[in-house]
Amino acid sequence: MKGIKKNMINNLVKQFIDSFGENEHEIRKFFSPSRINIIGEHIDYNGGKVFPCPLEIGTYGIARKNDDNVLRLKSLNMDHQGEISLDNLIYVEENDWMNYAAGMLKFIADEGYHTGGLDILVFGDIPNGAGLSSSASLELLIGEIVNQIYNDGEIQKENLALIGKKTENEFIGLNSGIMDQFIIAVGKKDHATLIDTNTLDYRHIPFQLDDTTIVILNTNKRRELKDSKYNERRSECDLALELLKPYKPEITALCDLTEDDLHLLENIEDENVRKRAEHAIRENARVYKAIEALEENDIETLGSLLVQSNDSLRELFEVTGPHLDSITKHANSFEHCLGARMTGAGFGGCGISIVKNDEIENFKAHVAKGYKEDTGLDAEFIISQVGDGVHEL
Ligand code: GLA
């Protein structure tokens, strides 16, 4: 562990003891990353392929058993803190972020694994609500803590991801797909992971760009998924599948269709539903093309696929909004940016861009200026290496 990080963790342990006092159990340290998605957006609930990677920024957790049968939680980022009885793991509005922890404990226990009292201090270095998946990062952090402390690591990472998704869907009420939890569970340093969201097969693919860097573009426009149109988009896709099935009964998901099937969309009367389906089919095809380009080290083509993806998310899927549109427009107008697009759910949050290494400072100045003029907000630029999935430190 590098010096600065080691100091930071020692400091977190100190704050843990200040908050929770001493007991005879061992204090253990964990890290759960955030993520970006390179390409394959809004298709993880359509049986599509996605291509995300974990970042080196994320959520730290300092944890220790307690013998009181409670979950005692404190966050250094959020106001709410408190105690939740393990005998009463239900969603409580005022518990705010702690609901993610309660949901994980509930569903881990429901699957027959061991749970028990825990004191946990949480600290995240990801901007919260920025669309880099702070919630999935927190879910998997709690999951891995319970996995290591009460189950000797016996819960498979893939299963932890599914429990995380269940927490998000059934406890929190957001109908998200599996991408975020899955990449945070299984991700690998210096690799992006091609995940088939239909079968959950996955393949790590080296992701090291030589003379370019991924620059994350934070709009600083907070995104609240629950309040957003995320669930609505999902229903529109479900409806599209239902309407298309009579023409190709063997399909079980929208992304079972290929670009050769696009003519079938003529059978969907509602223009919005037709547009959502077109996005899903074309975006899935772009993922294959992106992998091919990356494997041939053709970063120019990868960049142009990012731009196409962004255009489709704006025009067909309609999940970008003025802030993301502004930041990606200015990014894409910079000569040495090979491509930029929104990443994650959209409706605010972050974009990603591929920028020539020696032009990064000029790029930032260019985007910051244009974005500020359009929106009055300051853009934030994040450069993070690709890190490992959730792990004990
Ligand atoms: C959010 C969801 C994911 C995925 C993306 C869009 O991050 O949690 O499941 O649907 O949006 O690709």
For residue 208, the model assigns a pLDDT of 84
- From the CB of 139, is ligand 1 less than 6 Å away? no
328-332 — which CB contacts under 8 Å span 24+ positions?
Answer: 328/217, 328/353, 329/370, 330/366, 330/367, 330/369, 330/370, 330/371, 330/374, 331/217, 331/363, 331/367, 332/307
- Neighbour-count burial of 77, counting CB atoms closer than 10 A to its CB (0-12 exposed, 13-18 middle, 19+ buried): middle
Instruction: Give me ligand 1 centre to Cα 317, in Å.
Output: 13
For residue 79, the model assigns a pLDDT of 77
Q: Note whether residue 289 is domain-resident.
A: no
Instruction: Give me ligand 1 centre to Cα 249, in Å.
Output: 27
Q: Cα(287)–Cα(333) distance, rounded to whole angstroms?
A: 23
Q: Note whether residue 124 is domain-resident.
A: yes
Q: Cα(96)–Cα(91) distance, rounded to whole angstroms?
A: 9
> Which active-site residues does the annotation give?
180
Instruction: Give me ligand 1 centre to Cα 18, in Å.
Output: 37
- From the CB of 42, is ligand 1 less than 6 Å away? yes
- From the CB of 389, is ligand 1 less than 6 Å away? no
Q: What is the CATH number of the domain that holds 98?
A: 3.30.230.10
pLDDT tens per residue across span 47-59: 999 999 999 999 9
| Beta strand residue intervals within 278-357, DSSP E | 337-342, 350-356
- From the CB of 146, is ligand 1 less than 6 Å away? no
Question: 3-class DSSP state for residue 45?
Answer: coil
Q: Note whether residue 87 is domain-resident.
A: yes
Instruction: Give me ligand 1 centre to Cα 166, in Å.
Output: 14
Q: Note whether residue 134 is domain-resident.
A: yes
Q: Note whether residue 277 is domain-resident.
A: no
Q: Which domain holds residue 58?
A: 3-206+388-392
Q: Note whether residue 242 is domain-resident.
A: no
For residue 344, the model assigns a pLDDT of 93
Number of domains in the chain: 1
Ligand 1 atom with the smallest distance to the CA of 174 is: 8
Q: Which of 53, 176, 182, 237 to mutate to test the pocket of ligand 1 (most atoms within 8 A of CB)?
A: 176
For residue 225, the model assigns a pLDDT of 53
Report which of 200, 270, 280 is spatially closest to residue 237, judged by C-alpha positions: 280
Residue located nearest, by CA, to atom 1 of ligand 1? 345
Q: Note whether residue 173 is domain-resident.
A: yes
What pTM was estimated for this model as a whole?
0.95
Q: Compute φ and ψ for 66, nearest 5 degrees.
A: -125, 165
Q: What is the DSSP string of 50-108?
A: E-EEEEEEEEEEEEEE-SSSEEEEEESS-S--EEEETT-----GGGTTHHHHHHHHHHH
pLDDT beneath 50: ranges in the chain? none
